[in-house]
């Protein structure tokens, strides 16, 4: 393997492993929140983090993307760095300043159930400000291929946040305020670590031409990023607005239980993009894309089966004096398979979007994200009133499904691939059957029967992936020995 691709593989492993560890550590907060916070309070946390996710996209104004675009080719490089940091800082100050001024109105619109809602919104804006100021320095570490430092700092921020949550929320019982203070402190520390690293490369000068150039590049990326974020987080504030904070808390706790599928899709995307870009000029690239879809479907169905069938037993695992997920939240377990199905649709989009990337038609991606965001909002508005948080889960699935369908149609026009639509239909039927069988079992117990159902599902998943019965049996034997 040539040196550039060795570096690419090394960085992909570091970023991928770091992302998985960070998200697993963040998931550890779920048992804490669901055993300490009431569903309404946890719903407030979910809504505030949704607000921060959307505000952060606006606050950075695309300066992080513009920095990565011009860091290599523009000279002097130091001007690019200082311009990007200053531009993101001004934008973040403006967005967060408006958020602070409108904090009472925002808290009222979100129908926060916790006392001091305006103060919570102000702290959320502080987190957005610190995160936005650190965005360009983190991009600097990526562009300089300092992946180890990048991963360690990111991981350190998550570890600090988890530790502060244990102290402020579990021990000191500060509730939602403790959650926000932990986020504020960890974001501040992260910013204070990465800013000096970038500052050593800064040449303190202001280039108005460069500012205009970076804005022309960065601002058009904001709608696409905002649309993608809407699909991920818009359901919480809409659910809170129409069904209340308790529904948001139950929904968010069970949404998080889909983390195995989310991690699988995330790791797959990290490894998949370098692979297809490396083989973009291969005449057999279409065959590679088709085979990747079948492999992904096989793995996804296998994960779907395990989580769907055993989720009732998983949430009841004892943790301290409570459970992995507090019993107040168990009524929303039917959310889990729906959200996982949505992540499978996202994985399909990731696979088929390779045709768009290879064909250099990335200008179509904002349209795809925008359509998915529109579908998400419309479905939430239509489904939440009659179905509550179950409607929000189906809206998530519908948005990711719409994105996959549109991506398939667009990708086919750019780089035709003979995907196995039979395998896709079979995967959909399998997931439906697994979901139905999962409802037949009691939430807890009958582990041997559940294990048998999962093994049968794995056999079908192996067939989806194109494995022969002999290959599947060898995998089962390896699994049993381990």
CA distance 444 to 319: 16
- The pTM (predicted TM-score) of the whole model is 0.85
Position 281 scores a pLDDT of 77
CA distance 72 to 99: 35
Q: Are residues 195 and 234 in the same domain?
A: no
CB contact at 8 A, 120 and 91: no
Position 417 scores a pLDDT of 87
Position 331 scores a pLDDT of 94
Question: What pLDDT tens digit does each residue of the chain (482 aa) get?
Answer: 444 445 545 665 677 677 778 888 888 899 999 999 999 999 999 999 999 999 999 999 988 888 877 776 666 667 788 888 889 999 999 999 999 999 999 999 988 888 899 999 999 999 999 999 999 999 888 878 788 888 899 999 999 999 999 999 999 999 999 999 999 999 999 999 998 887 777 666 666 778 888 888 788 778 878 888 998 999 999 999 999 999 999 999 999 999 999 988 887 886 777 677 767 777 888 888 888 888 889 989 999 999 999 999 999 999 888 899 999 999 999 999 999 999 999 999 988 988 887 876 767 778 888 999 999 999 999 999 999 999 999 999 999 999 999 999 998 888 888 888 888 899 999 999 999 988 888 888 888 888 888 888 888 888 877 766 665 565 555 444 44
Q: Are residues 200 and 251 in the same domain?
A: no
DSSP 224-255: HHHHHHHHHHTHHHHHHHHH-HHHHHHHHHHH
Q: Are residues 58 and 125 in the same domain?
A: yes
CB contact at 8 A, 300 and 335: no
Distances in whole angstroms, Cα of residue 398 to Cα of each of 231, 364, 380, 384, 450: 10, 20, 10, 13, 28
Q: Are residues 249 and 105 in the same domain?
A: no
CB contact at 8 A, 245 and 47: yes
CA distance 125 to 52: 7
Please indicate, yes or no, if residue 141 is contained in any of the structural domains. yes
CA distance 52 to 61: 14
Q: Are residues 49 and 77 in the same domain?
A: yes
Q: Are residues 189 and 314 in the same domain?
A: no
Q: Are residues 63 and 177 in the same domain?
A: yes
Q: Are residues 18 and 147 in the same domain?
A: yes
CA distance 260 to 454: 16
Please indicate, yes or no, if residue 224 is contained in any of the structural domains. no
Domain limits at 463?
230-482
Please indicate, yes or no, if residue 368 is contained in any of the structural domains. yes
Position 468 scores a pLDDT of 63
Please indicate, yes or no, if residue 3 is contained in any of the structural domains. no
Single out the residue in 219, 245, 264 at which a domain terminates: 219
Position 191 scores a pLDDT of 94
Q: Are residues 246 and 161 in the same domain?
A: no
Please indicate, yes or no, if residue 413 is contained in any of the structural domains. yes
Q: Are residues 113 and 151 in the same domain?
A: yes
């Amino acid at each position: 393997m040539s040196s550039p691709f060795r570096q690419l593989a090394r960085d992909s492993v570091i970023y991928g492993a770091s992302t998985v560890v960070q998200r697993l550590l963040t998931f550890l907060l779920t048992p804490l929140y669901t055993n300490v916070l009431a569903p309404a309070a946890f719903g407030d946390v979910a809504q505030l983090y949704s607000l921060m996710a959307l505000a952060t996209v606006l606050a950075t104004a695309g300066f992080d993307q513009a920095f990565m675009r011009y860091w290599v080719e523009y000279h002097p490089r130091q001007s690019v760095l200082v311009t990007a940091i200053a531009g993101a800082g001004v934008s973040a100050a403006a967005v967060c300043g408006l958020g602070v001024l409108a904090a009472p109105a925002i808290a009222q619109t979100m129908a926060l159930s916790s006392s001091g809602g305006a103060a919570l919104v102000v702290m959320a804006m502080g987190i957005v400000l610190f995160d936005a100021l650190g965005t360009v320095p983190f991009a600097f570490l990526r562009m300089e291929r300092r992946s180890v430092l990048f991963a360690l700092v990111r991981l350190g921020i998550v570890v600090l946040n988890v530790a502060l949550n244990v102290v402020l929320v579990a021990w000191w019982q500060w509730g939602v305020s403790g959650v926000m203070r932990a986020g504020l402190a960890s974001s501040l520390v992260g910013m204070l670590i990465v800013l000096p690293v970038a500052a050593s490369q800064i040449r303190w000068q202001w280039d108005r031409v460069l500012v205009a150039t970076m804005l022309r590049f960065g601002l058009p990326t904001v709608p696409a990023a905002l649309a993608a974020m809407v699909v991920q987080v818009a359901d919480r504030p809409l659910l809170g607005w129409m069904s209340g904070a308790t529904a948001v808390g139950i929904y968010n706790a069970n949404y998080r239980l889909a983390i195995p599928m989310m991690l699988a899709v995330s790791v797959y995307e990290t490894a998949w993009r370098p692979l297809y870009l490396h083989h973009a000029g291969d005449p057999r690239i279409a065959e590679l894309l088709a085979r990747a879809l079948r492999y992904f479907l096989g793995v996804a169905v296998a994960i779907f089966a395990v989580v769907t069938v055993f989720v009732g037993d998983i949430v009841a695992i004892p943790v301290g004096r409570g459970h992995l997920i507090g019993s107040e939240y168990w009524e929303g377990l039917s959310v889990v398979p729906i959200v996982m199905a949505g992540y499978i649709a996202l994985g399909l989009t990731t696979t088929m979007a390779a045709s768009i990337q290879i064909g250099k038609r990335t200008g179509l991606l904002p349209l795809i994200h925008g359509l998915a965001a529109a579908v998400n909002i419309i479905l939430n508005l239509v489904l939440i009133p009659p179905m509550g948080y179950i409607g929000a889960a189906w809206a998530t699935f519908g948005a990711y499904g719409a994105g996959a369908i549109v991506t398939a149609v667009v990708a086919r026009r750019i780089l035709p691939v003979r995907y196995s639509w039979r395998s896709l239909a079979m995967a959909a039927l399998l997931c439906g059957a697994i979901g139905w069988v999962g409802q037949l079992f009691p939430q807890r117990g009958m582990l041997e029967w559940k294990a048998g159902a999962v093994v049968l599902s794995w056999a079908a998943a192996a067939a989806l992936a194109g494995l022969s019965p002999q290959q599947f049996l060898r995998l089962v034997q390896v699994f049993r020995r381990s």
